[in-house]
Amino acid sequence: MPSKARKVAIVGVGAVGASCAYALVNQSICDEIVLIGRSAEKVRADALDLSHCMDFTHNRTKVGTGTYADCRDADIVVLSAGVVMIPGGTRLDLAASSLEICREIVPQIVAAGFEGVFLVAANPVDVVTGIVLKLSGFPRSRVIGTGTSIDSARLKTLLAEHLPVDPRSINGYVLGEHGDSQFPAWSHVTIGGKPIRDILAQHGERFDRLDLDVIARQTRNAGWEILQAKGATTYGIASALASIARSILNNEHRIVAVSAYLEGEYGQSGLCAGVPAILTRDGMTEIVELNLTPGERRRFAESCGVIRGAMEALALDAIARS
C-alpha cells in the first residue's frame, strides 16, 4: 500500500529520469524519491548529488537508491527506462526495444505489491503506456503516460511568442500521438477565454505573422530540434512529469493532456492516446471529451490509427494481462 509519506520511485535514471528527480526536489513535490537503475554507481551518484540540494529548497526530500521491492509503498512509479532516440528516425522505432524493457520491469514492480499509479515517460509513450497497462493488469485510471502534455506546453510557448500574453494564459491541447501524427485542437485553443480563431479574424493585421499551420509544425518538430542539438529532451519532459506527479499527489483534479486508455471516448477504443483528462489522487479519473470539429475528429482517428498500427506490429494482443 502507498505510504503516508508522498513517495515517488523513478525507474530508469538516465537524462529524463535524473531531470525528473531534480524537478521533484526543486519543487518540493514529494517527501521521498527512490532511484532505480541498471548502473548502481551512477544511480548512487545521482542520489548523492540530489541530496545536496536540500539546503536550497523549501522542503526536505529524502533521496535514495533502491530496487523494485522499494516500489511496494510508492504512490507513483515513473517509468523512464528506455532506449535513446536516433536522429532521422521516429519514436515508433523504439517500440520493440521498449516492449522488452517493460517485460522485464513491470512484472517485478507489480510482484513487489505496488498499488499506486504508473506514470510512463518512455517512448513511444502511447504504445508503452498500453504495454504497461496490459502487463500490470491495473485499471486504466492507474496507468497514464505523459502523452501530449509536453506538446501542449510547447504549443502555448510558441503562441506566446506572437501574442502579448503569458503562456499560462493560453488554454488548449495537442491531441493524439506524442509523435508525428499529433495535432492541435484549434477549435478549443483560447486566449483568456477567447477562441484564437476569433482573435485572428478580428485582428488580422496585428497578428498577420501568426500562421497556425506553422505553429502546429513547429510544435510537432520541437522535440526533434532539441534531440538533434543536444541528444535528448530533458527539462521540458521532466517538468511535465513533475507537474503530473504534483497533480496526483495533491489530488488537484487538474485537467492535463496525458496518454490515457480510451474506451469509446472520441470514437476510439483499445489504445492509449493524448487526451485531456482529470488527474486526482487515484490517477486518471475521467477523460474530458472535447466537441471536436469533423476535421479534428478525422485527424484524431488517423493519429489513433498510427498508434494502433504500432501496437499490432508488436502483437500486443498476445500479451496476457496479469
Residue 322: the pLDDT is 39
What distance in Å separates the CA atoms of residue 76 and residue 9, rounded to the nearest whole number? 6
Q: State the pLDDT at residue 205.
A: 81
- Is residue 208's pLDDT more than 70? yes
Q: What is the 3-state secondary structure (H, E, C) of 81-113?
A: CCCCCCCCCCHHHHHHHHHHHHHHHHHHHHHCC
Res. 316 pLDDT band, cuts 50 70 90: low
Neighbours of 88 (CB within 10 A): 8
Binding-site residues: 16, 42, 68, 82-83, 91, 121-126, 146, 151-154, 233
Pick from 157, 94, 117, 103: which is nearest to 258 by CA? 117
Q: Specify binding-site residues for substrate.
A: 91, 123-126, 151-154, 233
**Checking DSSP bridges between strand 254-263 and strand 174-175, what pairing results, if any?**
unpaired
- The residues annotated with a catalytic role in the active site are 178
Q: Percent of the chain at pLDDT above 70?
A: 94
135-168 per-position pLDDT tens digit: 999 999 999 999 999 999 999 999 999 998 999 9
Write down the pTM of the prediction. 0.94
Answer whether 210's CB lies under 8 Å from 218's CB.
no
Task: Kindly report, residue by residue over 230-279, the tens digit of the pLDDT.
Answer: 988 999 999 999 999 999 999 999 999 999 999 999 999 999 999 999 99
- Structural domains in the chain, sorted by start: 7-145 (3.40.50.720), 149-316 (3.90.110.10)
**CB-CB contact of 275 with 260 (8 Å):** yes
Of 256, 276, 260, 271, nearest to 301 by C-alpha is 271
pLDDT tens by residue, 32-87: 999 999 999 999 999 999 999 999 998 899 999 999 999 999 999 999 987 666 65
Given a cut of 80, is residue 321 above it in pLDDT?
A: no
Residue 105 confidence (pLDDT): 96
C-alpha cell at 286: 475521467
